[in-house]
Amino acid sequence: MVFPAQQADADLQNRVTRYLSHRAAPADCDLQVDAKHGTVVLQGSVSSLYEKQLCRHVCTRVAGVLRVIDETVVRSS
């Protein structure tokens, strides 16, 4: 049985993931998105500080996101 709050979290996670893939995340990004009660947690690696900031900003543009916790790391070249 799926509870409404769990469904809302899964829906938000899917929307953020789709929005990131269309707006910000280049193909070489390795990102995982988790969402709970409007808080989105980004984990993984990106290739530049700019991409890190862009991904965080893009997440804030998705309806339902109240807070973004950015745990991404910038890969060294």
Task: Encode pLDDT of 18-56 as tens digits.
Answer: 998 887 666 667 899 999 999 999 999 998 899 899 999
Structure token pair of residue 25: 């995340």
Q: Which helix (H) or strand (E) holds 55?
A: helix 49-60
Q: Which helix (H) or strand (E) holds 8?
A: helix 4-23
- The CATH architecture of the domain made up of 4-74 is 2-Layer Sandwich (3.30)
- How far, in Å, CA of 19 to CA of 77, rounded? 27
The single-letter DSSP state of residue 62 is: S
Q: Whole-model pTM?
A: 0.85
- Domain map (residue ranges) of the chain: 4-74
